[in-house]
Structures are given as structure tokens and as C-alpha cells.
Structure 1
Amino acid sequence: MIEIEQSGALNTVQDLGRTAWRQLGVSVSGAMDALALRAGNLLLGNDENAAAIEVQMFPFRVRFLRDACIALTGADCRGQLDGVALPPWWGCRVRSGQLLELRYPRCGARGYLCVAGGIDVPEVMGSRSTALRGSFGGFAGRQLQRGDRLPIGVTSVRPLPTTGIGIVPPFVALGSVFPRNRNGHIQLRAIPAGEYALFAADHERFWQQSWQVSRQSNRTGYRLSGEPIQPSQSVEMRSYGLIPGIVQVPPAGEPIIQLSDANTAGGYPKIACVIEEDLWQLGQLQPGQSLQLVRSDAREALAIKQAVDEWLNRLRRDVPPMKNVANL
């Protein structure tokens, strides 16, 4: 059991989301940085889809009411266990009564607290993710608040050393796979989408300029501030299905990248779609930071997926063998 001692708005329980219900208007939800969630779960011997706590408002404090193993991934939230600093991308044992504090990140936007056995809230539509707009899933369908007690699943876990164990984060281990431009801004690969041809006059600028994440951004979508782009003609479109990564262009000309809590249908022209393996980088951008969109294709997207899968496979190989939690 975990007890929340301090939390801000939008800190929620998330897994990898519910993908089978979009046709009924149910958004995916799930972790904004799916790669951090998967890595933390693998370190602990969990299923990759085990539910964890996504923290994006700080400070965040939890007290453990039983012995457990945890992993901290995602943003470097300057974690402290009973006042002792923990490195980022770190797994360790915790004892009953200990207090964990996560503070405003040195870098990144969202931290993940993974626990051996996962956060054991009920599944709703095949997922434990919190859908805030629908008020279902996660812990009572809402953000976490002081006094909440979250159950931990009972499972076999990988024994972690008493001194802890670290993960080389993907932006270090896969630095060549996730490049930055000469200004240090992340580069997101995107594939041209249905109405791409309507923006022919602005193609070069769309790909070359730096876009800033607007303050009008959240888990539903990131609005990009920059020199607007406009279609060559006005078109009336029927609503079409949306998935995370779709880049739409509303009438004001500033693109919106749909994300975890995206609507399931929309009617703005779509100029591109960010490849799935790059979406975790968006989840770690704060409003005010900048990015560059880079034209890509399916072949490159598959090659990047293969590199990420190999990194995850190395993590599976390198973690210790399974052992029952009762023996820890």
C-alpha cells in the first residue's frame, strides 16, 4: 500500500492506455512517456503495461505502508527517500514507513513511480489508466490527492540490490536515434498525412522552423507556436478518426499534435503524423520549450522501432532473475 502525502493537479495512475475503444469515442489515455513506463516496469519484473504513477505537478510525496521495490524513470525529479537523494532512472528497495519525495525536475516534464506488482487499481475497459475527462479508470477516475491509499499488486519481482540499480536512459543509450538540431531542440520524425498537399506553399517552413510548445498545451494535445501555416484553399472536411501523433492545423495556422488524451475524431486538416517511437519525447517537453519536425517515412519509423526494441531487450537481459517478494 502507498499513501499520498502531497500531490498536485494532474498526477494520476497510468498504464499504456486503452486502445480498443476509440470507435466508441473513448480516448487512449495512458502514460505520456510510454518508454519510461515500460523501462521502469521491466526493471522490476512487471508486465510492461503495469500501472504506475505519472507525476507532472510537484512536489509529490508518498509514504510506503509495506516493503516494496520501486523504479523512478522519466524526468529527473530529484527524488529523495527519507531525505537521501536518489539518482534518476533508478530502482531500489523501500521499507514500510519510508517517505519518497519528488521535486520539480532538473530536466523533463513527467516522472514515473513504478512499483513491483504495479498499482493495483481496477481495470476499466481493459486498462488501469485514468481518463480525467470521463472520470473513470485509475484511482476513482480522478487525480491523486492527499490521503489516497493505493494498493500494490502481489507478484514476483526481480530482486534489486540494497544499494539500488540504475538504467542508462534512452536519450543517452540511443542518442544517435533521438537526435537534436544545432540549437539543441529535439527533432520529431513525422510522416506527411492526408491533407499535406494543401500546405505546399509552407512545406519548407513547416519542416525547417523551430516550433515552441504553447502554454495552451496539455495531455490532450500540444499546440505549437511559430509562424503560422495556411492551406492553399479552404476545405470542408468530415470528421475522421484521430490517434496520438496526428498533427492538425486549425484555422489560426498553429499546428496541434494530438496526444494521450486526444479526441477520437476531428475535422481540422492533418498535415503530418509524428511517429509513435518519438511521442515519448513530447511527453518530456515543458511549455515554452522548442522542437523541430523532421520529414520521415515508414521505413525510418520501423528502423527506430527496432533500435528501441533492442534497447528494451538489453534491459530485459541485464536485470537480475526473478525472485518472490516474500524473500526480499
Structure 2
Amino acid sequence: MTPRLSILSAGPGVTLQDGGRHGYLRYGITAAGPMDPLAHATANRALGNPLGATALEVSLGGVEVTAEGGPLGVAVAGGAFRIGLDGASLPPACALTLQPGSSLTLRAGRAGAWAYLAVAGRLDLAPTLGSTATHTRSGFGGLDGRALRAGDRLAVAESRPGPADPHALLAPWLVRPPEEIRVLLGPQDDFFAEDQIAAFLAGPWTVTTKGDRMACFLDGTPLTHAKGYNIVSDGIAMGAIQVPGEGWPIVLMADRQSTGGYPKIATVIGPDLGRLAQAQGGTRIRFRAVDRTAALAARRAEAEVLARPVAMEPLIRTDFSAEFLLGRNLIGGVVDGAQASP
């Protein structure tokens, strides 16, 4: 029997994402892919998968999964979610072998908005336009173009085990305070006077709770336009920051539209996309303008991190729950007291 990852429960917004559906923007089809590309790649790297392999993207609603038909190696990386294995707590970034009948849960924690659950092997899904990335608004990719739900079963081809016991991933690059987000100004920063660009960078801006995979909405002192707020629609990159007529910036994210007609004052650099995506509602942020050289250096540094194996260390358990202990065969034998020596 082919091993499968079974979804026991799933909150809203749990989807399957690979590295994205690239090359189709001119047809109105955006890439989708992970909200936090660095965390997604880290979970895959920890298991020896290709960096862009398909993984579960888990929102604040959380997910609970188990293995069927055989053990599965899995890794989790992303925000500071609460991870549990049969009632025992695990660190937010970890790798383990999920045994049939065991339950792995990911729940929202003290920080972060997205976590990634990768499986050692290949989730056996039919690609759409060369990708399995789920874009729910268009019904592309993943599992029938929709979010995952209880009862879904995902076959795992070429499955491999993970560590025999849970290990913590030593991935300090995932600790990224979101208070400062680096941007490249433009491409329509000329639609704003210098004092408005200064105000945009000074902030602060508050991440609102209305954001989703399409956009991050910001609250603060509205900006004003020097040349109006309508432009000829042009292509939208992930991280583009539009300023509509109301003056509050909107950062376009993974499920953004393909084109837009509002001036884009700046664009979040690639290595900071996940930093912003992980900011929960209510987080205050500021933007810092950098030049192209600095942006490319940040991208190279990220690539160098992902080129190396992810270090791990075994966990020392301190919180054995009754459920966890009863799930283990801890008895080596039984002695009849009547047969014991006096």
C-alpha cells in the first residue's frame, strides 16, 4: 500500500503549495506558491527534497494529520506555531517520522501566520500548468483547486522515513522580527511627492486582520498622490505595494491579481516577503528603502543558507503526557510476585 498523509482536521486556508506556477503571468495567471518561500524551502531542505517540492501550507486555523499505510518522514518550519505529537510538544521547527496512528498537530502560536509541513518523498498530485500550487480563487492546482479538509488523503510516492525520534531544526534564519521590511522604491514612486515617500518610510504601519493570501492591508496615516491614483494597468509582482485612492498601502502577495491600475510606491524585496507574511494582525512595521545591490546581496545570502544541509539536534523530552506514554510499549516484561525470591 502506498503510504498516505491523512488530514484529520484542517482550519481555513490550509493548501498545497510548491514553488509556484511561473511563466503564465502574461495570460493572467499568477504564480501562487508559498506565502513564506524561505520557510517552505527550509522544511523541504531538512528532508532532502527539492526546495520547491509540494508541501502543506498551514494558516492560523491549524491542521491535524496522521500517516496511513506506513511511516512518513515529515518536517515543519515557519512561524512560532504550537506543534504536538500525540500530546507531546515539539519545537516550531522540527523533523520526525510520523507513524501510522500517531497524530501530528500544528496550531497557531505566539508569533507567525504560516507554517509548512513537508513530507519526505513526493506528494503524488497531477500538476496544472506545470505546478501543484493551489490558487483557490481560480480553482487551479493542489487537490481539485481547493483548500484541504478533514478526510483528504494524500499519496506519497518514493516516501522516506525521517529521524527515528523527533529532532529540532537549527534554522536561526527563520527568526525574522517583522518590524522592518526592506523595499525597492518604485516603479511608480514618481506619483508621490518627496514628503509622502518620507512618510511612507517613516510609518509606522499596522498590519490589519483583513489580509489573506492575496494581499496584506496596512493601516496608518493615509498617503496622498501627486499625480492622481490611476495608471495604465501593468504587471504585479509579489511584494508590490499599491496605494489606491484612500491612501492606505496594500502589499500584494502570493495570490495577487496579475495586473493592477494603482501606483506602486515600492516593492518588498524577495528575502523579506516571508518576514512580512508572518506578521500577525496588529503588528506594527516600518519600511526601509534599499538599493538593488543590497537587495541582490540579501538574495545571495538566502541562497547560500539553503544550499547547506539543515542541521538538527535530538530533543530531550521533559513533558511526557499520559497519552504519549500510553502510546509507547514501555514494558519489557511482567514478573509474577508469587515467583519472586523471598
TM-score normalized by the length of structure 2: 0.85
Within the candidate set 253, 268, 284, 1:274 is matched to 268
Correspondence 1:63 to 2:78: no
Q: Do 1:75 and 1:110's aligned partners in 2 also have CA atoms closer than 8 Å?
A: yes
Counting only pairs closer than 5 Å after superposition, residues 42-81 of structure 1 correspond to structure 2 as 42-65=45-68, 66-81=70-85
Correspondence 1:12 to 2:15: yes
1-structure distance, mates of 2:267, 2:166: 43
Counting only pairs closer than 5 Å after superposition, residues 196-235 of structure 1 correspond to structure 2 as 196-200=189-193, 201-234=195-228
Q: Tell me which amino acid in the other structure corresponds to 1:311.
A: V
After superposition, give the CA deviation of every residue in 1:217-249 in whole Å (9 maximum; x if it has no partner). 111111111101011132642110111011110
1-structure distance, mates of 2:66, 2:94: 18
Aligned residue in 1 for 2:91: 87
Q: Per the alignment, do residues 94 and 58 of structure 1 end up closer, same or farther by CA in structure 2, a change over 3 Å counting?
A: same
Please report how far the alpha carbon of residue 214 of structure 1 lies from its aligned counterpart in structure 2 after TM superposition: 1.8
SS in structure 2 opposite 1:203? helix
Correspondence 1:149 to 2:153: yes
Q: Do 1:220 and 1:262's aligned partners in 2 also have CA atoms closer than 8 Å?
A: yes
1-structure distance, mates of 2:39, 2:223: 33
Please report how far the alpha carbon of residue 282 of structure 1 lies from its aligned counterpart in structure 2 after TM superposition: 1.5
TM-score normalized by the length of structure 1: 0.89
1-structure distance, mates of 2:218, 2:272: 16
SS in structure 1 opposite 2:275? helix
Please report how far the alpha carbon of residue 315 of structure 1 lies from its aligned counterpart in structure 2 after TM superposition: 2.7
SS in structure 2 opposite 1:315? coil
Q: Tell me which amino acid in the other structure corresponds to 2:11.
A: G
Aligned residue in 1 for 2:171: 168
1-structure distance, mates of 2:230, 2:202: 28
Aligned residue in 1 for 2:187: 194
Aligned residue in 1 for 2:339: none
1-structure distance, mates of 2:127, 2:235: 25
SS in structure 2 opposite 1:151? strand
Q: Do 1:89 and 1:169's aligned partners in 2 also have CA atoms closer than 8 Å?
A: no
Please report how far the alpha carbon of residue 158 of structure 1 lies from its aligned counterpart in structure 2 after TM superposition: 7.7
Q: Do 2:20 and 2:133's aligned partners in 1 also have CA atoms closer than 8 Å?
A: yes
Q: Tell me which amino acid in the other structure corresponds to 2:143.
A: F
Within the candidate set 281, 300, 309, 1:315 is matched to 309
2-structure distance, mates of 1:271, 1:128: 32
Q: Which moved more, 1:40-49 or 1:99-108?
A: 99-108
Aligned residue in 2 for 1:326: none
1-structure distance, mates of 2:103, 2:213: 28
2-structure distance, mates of 1:208, 1:138: 40
Unaligned ranges ≥5, structure 2: 314-342
Aligned residue in 2 for 1:288: 282
Please report how far the alpha carbon of residue 167 of structure 1 lies from its aligned counterpart in structure 2 after TM superposition: 2.4
2-structure distance, mates of 1:64, 1:192: 47
Q: Do 1:196 and 1:271's aligned partners in 2 also have CA atoms closer than 8 Å?
A: yes
Q: Do 1:52 and 1:118's aligned partners in 2 also have CA atoms closer than 8 Å?
A: no
Q: Tell me which amino acid in the other structure corresponds to 1:189.
A: R
SS in structure 2 opposite 1:53? strand
Q: Do 1:45 and 1:158's aligned partners in 2 also have CA atoms closer than 8 Å?
A: no
Q: Which moved more, 1:303-312 or 1:263-272?
A: 303-312
Within the candidate set 228, 247, 250, 1:253 is matched to 247
After superposition, give the CA deviation of every residue in 1:125-154 in whole Å (9 maximum; x if it has no partner). 111111100112101110111111111121
Q: Do 2:241 and 2:264's aligned partners in 1 also have CA atoms closer than 8 Å?
A: yes
Unaligned ranges ≥5, structure 1: 173-177, 321-328
Q: Which has the larger radius of gyration?
A: 2
Q: Which moved more, 1:232-241 or 1:26-35?
A: 232-241
Within the candidate set 287, 296, 311, 1:302 is matched to 296
Please report how far the alpha carbon of residue 69 of structure 1 lies from its aligned counterpart in structure 2 after TM superposition: 0.6
Within the candidate set 104, 108, 113, 1:104 is matched to 108
RMSD: 1.8
Q: Do 1:81 and 1:98's aligned partners in 2 also have CA atoms closer than 8 Å?
A: yes
Q: Do 1:44 and 1:71's aligned partners in 2 also have CA atoms closer than 8 Å?
A: yes
Q: Tell me which amino acid in the other structure corresponds to 1:289.
A: T
Aligned residue in 2 for 1:128: 132
1-structure distance, mates of 2:92, 2:214: 27
- Count of residues in correspondence between the two structures: 308
Identity fraction in percent: 33
User: Which of the two has greater strand per residue?
Assistant: 2
SS in structure 2 opposite 1:30? coil
